[in-house]
Amino acid sequence: MKSSRCGVLRAGLVRLSVCIVLACTLSAPVRAQQDVAAEQTARVLWSALDADQKAALAPLQGQWDTLEARQQQRMLRLAARWRDASPAQRDKLSHWLGRWAVMSPDQRTELAQRRARFHALPATRQQHLREAFMRFKAMPPQRRAELRAQFEAMPPAQRSAFIAGAQAEHERAGFAQLAELTVPQRQALRAHLRALPAAQRAAERERLRELSVQALRDYADSLPPAPQP
């Protein structure tokens, strides 16, 4: 039974990893909440950039003066990291900027929405996603390419179902310590969560995920027993 449960969790994590890379969020190392203030900032001409900024943003030179102010400010924040970046980090940034430069406006909008969804998640969920992303990156290149192709070939409805399934599996995987509790303890925790308003339930679930198995047992024992049908 325990071996079967671990297999389910591993499968869920692999599926989640693909979802993160292809549909969620870790596409750009910037924070969406900064974009709002940037919208009020005037555009900056390419000719006004300093040498370091031009070196960092070279893939965007041909279209820089046509970018919106918020897009320019986001890219300038990336360029600020260039000065202290290692050669490997600079290569990674140049690669990402090269990809962004050839995206259509709709693709850029979708990317910004994914980034915003990611940064709206609780910090613990963001960390789970980052860890899953690293697992995906550790896969052989051919396997990653196959998974990307499968995802991109899905029609919109199937892709949405895939994402929903990955999120559900993440919920189960992230709360794996429930398996170490007794049935009455699990029932008490579930009854406790169901009794909370939806807005509080997610935060409480995240808090419980951070507890050790023993701390979770102790907390479950402190709750009223779950009503029996």
User: Do 225 and 134 belong to one domain?
Assistant: no
User: Do 179 and 168 belong to one domain?
Assistant: no
The per-residue pLDDT for range 41-66, each reduced to its tens digit, is: 678 999 999 998 999 999 999 999 99
Kindly indicate the confidence band of residue 145, based on its pLDDT and cuts at 50, 70 and 90: confident
**Among candidate residues 159, 174, 189, the one where a domain is terminated:** 174
Which of 56-70, 72-86, 106-120, 130-144: highest mean pLDDT? Answer: 56-70
Q: How many domains does the chain have?
A: 2
User: Do 112 and 86 belong to one domain?
Assistant: yes
DSSP 228: P
User: Do 202 and 170 belong to one domain?
Assistant: no
User: Do 116 and 197 belong to one domain?
Assistant: no
Q: Which of 139, 119, 116, 140 is nearest to 129 (CA)?
A: 119
State the pTM of this model.
0.48
Mean residue pLDDT of the chain comes to: 75
**Among candidate residues 174, 189, 207, the one where a domain is terminated:** 174
User: Do 93 and 140 belong to one domain?
Assistant: yes
Domain range for residue 29?
A: 2-174
